[in-house]
Chain A
Amino acid sequence: MAASALFILDLKGKPLISRNYKGDVGLGEIENFMGVLQQREEEGTLTPVLTYGHVHFLWIKHSNLYLVATTKKNGNASLVFSFLYKVVEVFCEYFKELEEESVRDNFVIVYELLDELMDFGFPQTTDSKIPAGVSVGRGLWGGWGPAQSPPPVMEGPPLRYITQEGNKLDTGRSRVPTTVTNAVSWRSEGIRYKKNEVFIDVIEAVNLLVSASGSVVLSEVLGTIKLKVFLSGMPELRLGLNDRVLFELTGRGKNKSVELEDVKFHQCVRLSRFDNDRTISFIPPDGDFELMSYRLHTQVKPLIWIESIIEKFSHSRVEIMVKAKGQFKKQSVANGVEISVPVPSDADSPKFKTSVGSARYLPERNVVIWSIKSFPGGKEHLMRAHFGLPSVEKEEEEGRPPIAVRFEIPYFTVSGIQVRYMKIIEKSGYQALPWVRYITQSGDYQIRTN
Chain B
Amino acid sequence: MPYLGGEEAQRELRRALSNPHVQADPARYRGAVLRVIRLMAQGVDVSGLFPEMVKAGAVPDVVQKKLVSFYVRSQAPRQPQLALLAVNSLRKDCAHPSPAVRGLALRTMCGLRCGGARGTAGCPRPRCPADVRLPSRRMPGIQEYLQQPLVSGLRDKASYVRRVAVLGCAKMVKLQGDCEVDGALVNELYSLLRDQDPIVVVNCLRALEEILKKEGGVVINKPIAHHLLNRMPDLDQWGQSEVLTFLLRYKPRSEDELFDILNLLDGYLKSSSPSVVMAATKLFLVLAREYPDVQTDVLVRVKGPLLSVCTSESRELCFTALCHVRQILRTLPGHFSSHYKKFFCSYSEPHYIKCQKMEVLCELVNDENVQQVLEELKGYCTDVSVELAQGAIFAIANIARTYTEQCVGILTELLGLQQEHITSAVVRAFRDLAWLCPQCTDAVCQALPGCEDTIQDSEGKQALVWLLGTHGEKIPNAPYVLEDFVENVKSETFPAVKMELLTALLRLFLARPAECQDMLGRLLYYCIEEEQDMAVRDRGLFYYRLLQSGVEEVKRVLCSPKSDPSLGLLGDQSKQPVNAWAWEFNTLATVYGRERWALATAQQPVEPSYSCSPYADSRNRDTVLEVHPGTPVSEGNKELLKAHPDAGSLSLIPNVSLTAEQFEKTWLSLDTSCQLSLPWCGLVHADTIQTALRVVHIQTIAMSKAGAQPWKAYLSAQHDSGCLFLTELLHEAADSELQISVKQNEAKPEALQSFISTLRTVLEAVAGLES
Contact = CB atoms under 8 A, between A and B. Distances in A.
Contact of B233 (A84, A154, A397): A154
Interface string A53-88: 110101110000000000001111111011111000
B308 to A, nearest CB: 6
Interface in A114-163: 115, 119-120, 122-127, 131, 133-134, 140-141, 144-147, 152, 154, 156-157, 159-161, 163
B117 A76 contact: no
B341 interface: yes
B231 A181 contact: yes
B369 to A, nearest CB: 12
A101 to B, nearest CB: 14
Contacts of B62: 140-141
Contacts of B290: 164
| B interface residue count range (under 10 / 10 to 19 / 20 to 34 / 35 or more) | 35 or more
B238 A123 contact: yes
Contact of B100 (A45, A131, A396): A131
B367 interface: no
Nearest to B348: A401
A394 B196 CA distance: 67
B588 A75 contact: yes
A183 interface: yes
Interface string B86-108: 00000000000011100000010
A241 interface: no
A23 B117 contact: yes
B320 A26 contact: no
B317 A157 contact: no
Given A181-B230, A218-B344, A163 B600 contact: no
Q: Chain A: interface residue count, which band?
A: 35 or more
A78 B586 contact: yes
A21 B196 CA distance: 26
Contacts of A145: 99, 157-159
Contact of B321 (A49, A74, A78, A131): A78
A81 B163 contact: no
Interface string B165-200: 001001100100000000000000000000011110
A399 B347 contact: yes
Given A74-B619, A161-B263, A218-B341, A28 B127 contact: yes
A27 B344 contact: no
Given A49-B588, A183-B234, A160 B611 contact: no
A264 B271 contact: yes
Interface in A266-290: 266-267, 271-272, 275, 290
Contacts of A295: 304, 308
B305 to A, nearest CB: 7
B304 A262 contact: yes
Interface string A35-47: 0000000001111
A58 B275 CA distance: 15
Contacts of A174: 260, 263-264
B573 interface: no
Contacts of B314: 60, 81-82, 85
Interface in A85-110: 85, 107-108
A161 B233 contact: no
Interface string B374-405: 00100100011101000000000000000000
Contact of B226 (A31, A46, A177, A272): A177
Q: Which secondary structure dominates where chain A touches chain B?
A: loop
B743 to A, nearest CB: 26
A48 B352 contact: yes
A428 B316 CA distance: 46
Contacts of A144: 99-100, 158-160
Contact of B352 (A46, A60, A209, A400): A46
Interface stretch (B44-52, B291-299, B710-718): B291-299
B126 A18 contact: yes
B255 interface: yes
B539 interface: no
B689 interface: no
Given A27-B132, A28-B132, A267 B387 contact: no
B229 interface: yes
Contacts of A45: 352
A78 B272 contact: no
Contacts of A349: none
A38 to B, nearest CB: 15
Interface in B59-102: 62-63, 66-67, 70, 98-100
A112 interface: yes
Contacts of B293: 164
A21 B210 CA distance: 14
A446 interface: yes
A373 B273 CA distance: 36
Interface string B594-606: 0001001101100
B237 interface: yes
A164 B236 contact: no
Given A48-B316, A262-B305, 12 more contacts: A46-B350, A46-B351, A59-B316, A73-B611, A76-B616, A79-B278, A81-B316, A83-B238, A119-B164, A120-B170, A176-B260, A295-B304
Interface of A: 1-2, 5, 7, 15-21, 23, 26-31, 44-49, 51, 53-54, 56, 58-60, 73-79, 81-85, 107-108, 111-112, 115, 119-120, 122-127, 131, 133-134, 140-141, 144-147, 152, 154, 156-157, 159-161, 163-164, 169, 174-179, 181-186, 207, 209, 211-212, 217-218, 261-267, 271-272, 275, 290, 293, 295, 396-402, 444, 446, 448
6 contacts: A46-B351, A160-B266, A163-B256, A267-B233, A272-B267, A446-B347
